[in-house]
Amino acid sequence: MTRELFPRLTERSRKAISVGFLRINHLYYLVRKRQLAPLRNLHLLLLRGWIAKIEGSFSNLVSKKQPVCLVATEGNSLIASILIKPNNRRGTCWSISYPKIYNTPEYNTLREIKLRLIKYSLDIKMTNINNWILKYPIDSLEELSILRELGFQPQDVISAWSSTKINSYENDNYKSLEGRNSFSWEQVTIDNSEDLWRIENSGQSLQLRSIIDRKPSDIAKLSVKLTRILYLHSIKKSVAVAGIIEQTFPDDINTLRVIRNIAWDERLKDALPSIIKIITTKDSSLTVECDSKDEDLRHLFKLIGLEEINQKVLLSKSNLQRSEKKLSLSKNSSLGTMLDTLNPPNIPIPSP
């Protein structure tokens, strides 16, 4: 009896999808297949995952910073991974990366594996997690279909721009413009972080604001080299009207988002290009983002030589009971239906 069952159990285990936290034995799966390129990054993620578990065990006493890597395997083959990462220091909102594929599954579909990975992340029991948010390319039809199935709702469409072809710029002109037009760019501090926080909130819906659950202290802890606040000065007072915020989604590497108040000020035509050119000249790998519906910013980006590379859909899901049931969509809603709840973007959006 045992001999007859053993081959069947072995065959079943080879076909089964297993999803869980990254462990040391998963690294051996890659070594066996001589896939050495991802090993260094996965080693680091393994260590950071251990730190994240320690952070989670201390509830509200410790700020949540570290990402957690989840993997899906088929037998002894590592198929895919995703990163989940706290989106604020209290750990009430987490973001989910785009699935990273290492091998082609032999017995299951990639869609099923991606679905299992993302669903597993939503079921993780970690202290304080109430909401989830993510940002996926608009042409990722399979992934967006999975997110629709899992109850994610669209919040915004974001335009991403490359700075590799930006116009040349002389830093000396910046100070001249600054003095002549009565504006200044200031690095974020604990004292002024609330100004930037207010600007960010002004461009978000109440629903998205409550899901992200970001406080001024979260803004203050972002990179002081990249996160800036634009002040326009007059005789009576100085007013914060725009900002550049470092993005902290798992897939965001050297990514900045330009935000502004609802009212457009003509002085932004001098102030924004000057600082964007200075920052991107120092690091041409930077990606600059803005709201896809902001025609003024998009036009300004084109003038200074930024090149639009893609658009991304910002989606969210809350574990808390929704009070605005009219915003909820059924799992069978199409991507087009999801995006119809937003203001139409400038570029047509494909439907799966």
Structure tokens given for 137: 């390319």
Q: How many domains does the chain have?
A: 2
Residue 21 and residue 73 share a domain: yes
d(CA 53, CA 68): 8
Residues 239, 241, 244, CA angle at the centre, nearest 5°? 125
Residue 182 and residue 273 share a domain: yes
Choose the final residue of a domain: 129, 152, 170: 129
The per-residue pLDDT for range 297-330, each reduced to its tens digit, is 999 999 888 999 999 999 999 977 543 444 445 5
61 in any annotated domain: yes
Residue 205 and residue 56 share a domain: no
Residue 61 and residue 169 share a domain: no
CA distances from 340 to 63, 100, 124, 140, 221 (A): 37, 29, 31, 18, 35
Residue 165 and residue 120 share a domain: no
Task: Give 1's pLDDT tier (boundaries 50, 70, 90).
Answer: very low
| Position 327, amino acid | L
The per-residue pLDDT for range 193-250, each reduced to its tens digit, is 999 999 999 989 999 999 999 999 999 888 777 889 999 887 788 889 999 999 989 9
**Predicted local confidence at residue 120, as pLDDT:** 94
**Predicted local confidence at residue 60, as pLDDT:** 57
**What's the sign of the alpha-carbon dihedral 47, 53, 59, 64?**
positive
Q: Are 251 and 135 contacting, i.e. CB atoms less than 8 angstroms apart?
A: yes
Residue 189 and residue 117 share a domain: no
**Is the per-residue pLDDT at 2 higher than 50?**
no
147 in any annotated domain: no
Residue 232 and residue 165 share a domain: yes
- Structural domain including 23 reads 14-129
Beta bridge partners of 156: 314
d(CA 66, CA 87): 10
Task: Give 100's pLDDT tier (boundaries 50, 70, 90).
Answer: very high
* CATH number for the domain that contains residue 246: 3.40.630.30
Rounded to 5 degrees, what are φ and ψ at 152? Answer: -75, 145
Task: Tell the residue number behind the tokens 């936290």, with chain if given.
Answer: 21
Task: Give 50's pLDDT tier (boundaries 50, 70, 90).
Answer: confident
Task: Tell the residue number behind the tokens 């239906």, with chain if given.
Answer: 337
Residue 216 and residue 294 share a domain: yes
Residue 114 and residue 164 share a domain: no
CA distances from 254 to 82, 85, 251, 327 (A): 19, 16, 10, 33
1 in any annotated domain: no
Mean pLDDT value across residues 80-91: 90
d(CA 194, CA 189): 9
- Mean pLDDT for the chain overall: 81
Q: Are 234 and 263 contacting, i.e. CB atoms less than 8 angstroms apart?
A: no
Other beta carbons less than 10 A from residue 12's beta carbon: 9
Choose the final residue of a domain: 129, 148, 180: 129
* CATH number for the domain that contains residue 51: 3.40.630
Task: Give 113's pLDDT tier (boundaries 50, 70, 90).
Answer: very high
Task: Give 338's pLDDT tier (boundaries 50, 70, 90).
Answer: low
Residue 76 and residue 186 share a domain: no
Residue 297 and residue 170 share a domain: yes
Mean pLDDT value across residues 61-65: 60
